[in-house]
Structure 1
Amino acid sequence: MSRYVALGSSMAAGPGIRPRATGSPRRAGRSQRNYPHLVAARLGLDLVDVTYSGATTAHILTEPQHGEPPQISALDGTEELVTITIGGNDVGYVPMLAVAGLPHMLRAVPLIGGLLRAQVDRSARDAALRQVGAALETVGREVRARSPHARVCFVDYLTLLPPAGTPAPPLSDADADTGRHIADALERATAEAAAATGCQVVKVAEPSRAHHAWSQDPWTTTTGLPLPGRPAPLHPNAAGMSAVADLVVAQVS
């Protein structure tokens, strides 16, 4: 059976989508119904899923995460397929939206207010976005070097926010616009990194625009508190994971 290694953050891991992947660390938030598991089942591949909630590009390349080695260490050169969904945590994408969903008055509270304002500050997010392209390219180069015979696919992020002009309560229009700006920049950076490193890109953001979290047929969840047995806020739901799996399978088959 051919080997498939899945790398990435919570957008690939699927926190809250039951059941949890057998034997996986609880902190990873790794679902048995995330897109790597669905792709492996559809294509008859031997899956090694090391996706982990909260992962950054550094956690793929060099940094351990909660006792787990850097994700790239799962590659041994025998892989037929490698998928990568990463970058959002480098730029604070979901944390920014999570803060934006909190009551606005909290931004005026001493101490914590400064932290919240920094999280939704567009200039701070832009500074992070200026760095993420190079980090994504490093990921692509290192994965290609370790898995020279594999098909390596960056999988970008499902669309979370509705188009400009469509309300996304409780987010303000300004915060939603910042979120869209981050998402668009991350989508471009992912495609550019793939092109620069000889990898492919599975375009997920574009076909999911009509299935944003506030739509009638959402592939992701809205803001809110994490609840047991439910997909994490501002993350893919089961329908979204299935849709991403369809897109990956269509590209690599």
Structure 2
Amino acid sequence: MKRLVPVLVVATILLIPTAAHAAAPADQDYVALGDSYSSGVGAPGQSGTCLRSPNAYPGLWDAANDPATYKSVACSGATTDDLRSSQLSALTAATDLVSVTIGGNDVGFAPTIITCTLVGDSACAAKVDESLEYLRDEMPAKFTATYAEIRAKAPNAKVVVLGYPILFDEAATSCGFAGMSIPKRKSINKGARELNAAIRAYAQAAGFTWSDVTDEFAGHGICGASPWLHGLTVLPPTNSFHPTANGYRYGYLPALNAALA
């Protein structure tokens, strides 16, 4: 079965206690984990195979707060399995702060968007709906294991799990060349909301801090008058459906700051 944007199935998970840590930013050791929404795809200054940018929200937070140490190991295309196999080595018992976005690639974010770009409204909706079985069968264990391993590697850290923006403005009648129809936008947005709800449930069950970015991005969806997200992009194509520089600075960064307040 193809991995597509999921529909929430709430599972009962035992709460893992969160370690209390109140270090000031100047004393903190900060590690950013996750996928392209944490590495900075869509922002200026991307480099390397992971497409990391100093203009992603972790780099912006580092520049504004000057923590004792900062390292981003977030990588474009990363799944929960990738995070567990290649990113956790950056964490130690001395890590004070961890931020992470993860889950979108597990459920096939890119294939879903590509499919919806090429097919009709009902086929797009069907592709989104197919994710229900995948979420039920696979994602509970993946989220639970990922968050448990983060806690084990960084037992003293405050861990902030950030969600994904709702991609599309649903009111605009036109979305440009090869743009999504309103029914497609609604289907994809529905999937994003339910993906966020699932991530929130498992993150909070793990004792982590959840940060929902949907309020920060409200009014700035693709097809709208003031988007903070790239639509379909030719050069570079990887920027497609990722935050712009404004999306990271005025969307994700305030969401992280709010979670740390």
Same-fold call, TM > 0.5?
A: yes
User: What corresponds to 1:12 in structure 2?
Assistant: 38
Calculate percent identity across the aligned residue pairs: 29
Q: Which runs of 4+ in 1 moved over 4 A?
A: 117-120, 165-168
- Asked if 2 retains the 8 angstrom alpha-carbon contact of 1:158 and 1:219, the reply is no
Contiguous gaps of at least 5 residues in structure 2: 1-26
One-letter identity of the residue aligned with 2:34: G
Aligned to 1:212, the other structure's residue is in SS state: coil
| C-alpha distance in 1 between matches for 2:174 and 2:105 | 21
| C-alpha distance in 2 between matches for 1:168 and 1:83 | 36
One-letter identity of the residue aligned with 1:87: G
For residues 67-216 of structure 1, the aligned pairs below 5 Å read 70-102=86-118, 104=119, 121-130=127-136, 131-163=138-170, 166-167=172-173, 169=175, 170-216=179-225
Higher RCO (C-alpha 8 Å, min separation 6): 2
- Asked if 2 retains the 8 angstrom alpha-carbon contact of 1:168 and 1:176, the reply is no
User: What corresponds to 1:252 in structure 2?
Assistant: 260
Change (3 A) 1:128 1:205: farther
Choose the corresponding residue for 2:61, options 19, 35, 39: 39
One-letter identity of the residue aligned with 1:148: P
Shift of 1:13: 1.1
User: What corresponds to 2:74 in structure 1?
Assistant: 51
Aligned to 1:127, the other structure's residue is in SS state: helix
Deviations 1:224-245 (A, max 9, x none): 32x14x9701001000111211
- Asked if 2 retains the 8 angstrom alpha-carbon contact of 1:101 and 1:223, the reply is no
Aligned to 1:27, the other structure's residue is in SS state: coil
TM-score of the pair, normalised by structure 2: 0.79
- Asked if 2 retains the 8 angstrom alpha-carbon contact of 1:160 and 1:220, the reply is yes
TM-score of the pair, normalised by structure 1: 0.81
| C-alpha distance in 2 between matches for 1:174 and 1:212 | 15
| C-alpha distance in 2 between matches for 1:120 and 1:10 | 26
Deviations 1:151-198 (A, max 9, x none): 0010111221124x5546322344323311210111101110111000
| C-alpha distance in 2 between matches for 1:119 and 1:55 | 25
Aligned to 1:20, the other structure's residue is in SS state: coil
Shift of 1:77: 1.6
Change (3 A) 1:128 1:172: farther
Contiguous gaps of at least 5 residues in structure 1: 63-69, 106-116
| C-alpha distance in 1 between matches for 2:233 and 2:134 | 25
One-letter identity of the residue aligned with 1:15: V
One-letter identity of the residue aligned with 1:182: G
